[in-house]
Structure 1
Amino acid sequence: MDYRIREILEEEYSLLEDFLYEAIFVPEGMAAPPRSIIRQPELQVYLKDFGKKTGDAGLVAEAGEKVAGAVWVRIMNDYGHIDDMTPSFAISLYKEFRGLGIGTALMKEMLYLLKHQGYKQASLAVQKANYAVNMYKKVGFSVLYENAEEYIMVTRL
């Protein structure tokens, strides 16, 4: 599949709501939560005033004329928070674009960007059952600590 990765445009920030919802891991056999779940304060940290805080950065993958996926980072007190110097990742793709290597390419490009911005590490949180765990490991993340349901992962840049 042909795609290109580029910086997210300010007028596309509203797409991050779609991608935040798409990022919610739904285990096999479980019903997806209502879309309104993204309005909860613990999820709004990924979206509120995006682009206005130091460290906010986002990339999208574009397939043809459609945005297929997004990766964005910010320093926030989210599930994967390590410290106030470490950006946390959020990434997702629309279902029809998963499993094609686009997510891996988005992650690598964002890691490159963060390194060149002077960051020393990046973090994320992922549920243990999520198939994306292997992709995160493949691009350099390792488990920093875990709880019953999820891993907090970090990569050095």
Structure 2
Amino acid sequence: MDYTIRELRQNEVKILDIFLYEAIFIPEGVTAPSRDIIKQPELQVYVSNFGKHKGDICYVAEIENKIVGAVWGRIMNDYGHVDDETPSLAISLLKEYRNYGIGTKLMKRILTELKEHGYKQTSLAVQKTNYAVRMYKKAGFEIIDENDEEYIMMCKLIILKAGGD
């Protein structure tokens, strides 16, 4: 599958509403919530005024001029909040574009960018039954906390010295 990963343009920010909804993990056999769920304050923290706060960063996957996936991070008090110096991430793909490695490439891209911006770590929250837990572990995330339903995962962003690989 041929796709491009690029930065989100400011005039495209509203598309994050679609990917915020797509990021909600719906277990097999469970009815999906109404799209209005993203208007709840605990979810709006991921997208409200995106691009206008220090540390807001987003990359999208594009196929034939259609955005099919997004990964974004910001310093926010969300489900995966660790501290005020650690950006929390969200990632999602349209259903028909999952399991092609696009999410992994998006994650690698934002982790590289966060390192280049001097961040030491990043975090996220994920439901324990979400198949994406494996991808996060492969990308370097480790479980640092959990509750009955979710893991809080963190990835240390190691800055390699010159000559490192």
Normalising by the smaller structure, the TM-score range is: over 0.9
* Residue 68 of structure 1: how far off its partner (Å): 0.8
Specify the alignment match of 2:142 in structure 1: 142
Report the secondary structure of 2:55's partner residue.
coil
Count residues in correspondence: 157
**TM-score, normalised with respect to structure 2:** 0.94
Residue pairs, 1:1-157, within 5 angstroms: 1-157=1-157
- 1:118: how far off? 0.1
Letter in 2 for 1:116: E
TM-score when scaled to structure 1? 0.99
* Separation in structure 1 between the aligned mates of residue 22 and residue 111 of structure 2, nearest angstrom: 21
Runs of 4+ in 1 over 4 A off after TM superposition: none
Unaligned runs of 5+ in 2: 158-165
Find the aligned partners of 2:57 and 2:114 in 1 and give their Cα distance: 9
Counterpart CA distance in 2 for 1:151 and 1:36 is 25
Q: What is the Cα deviation at residue 63 of structure 1?
A: 1.1
**Equivalent position SS for 2:67:** strand
Whole-angstrom CA distance in 2 between matches of 1:35 and 1:4: 27
Between the aligned residues of both structures, percent identity stands at 64
2:86 is paired with a residue whose SS is coil
1:15 and 1:116 map into 2 onto residues whose CA distance is 25
- State which structure, 1 or 2, has the greater radius of gyration over its C-alpha atoms: 2
Aligned equivalents of 2:70 and 2:36: distance in 1? 20
Please give the root-mean-square deviation of Cα atoms over the aligned residues, in Å: 0.4
Residue 101 of structure 1 aligns with an amino acid whose one-letter code is G
Q: Aligned partners of 1:65, 1:12: CA distance in 2, in Å?
A: 12
> How far 1:64 sits from its partner (Å)?
1.4
Equivalent position SS for 1:48: coil
For 2:161, the equivalent position in structure 1 comes to none
Deviation track 1:96-151 (CA, whole Å, cap 9, x = no partner) reads 10000000000000000000000000000000000000000010001001100000
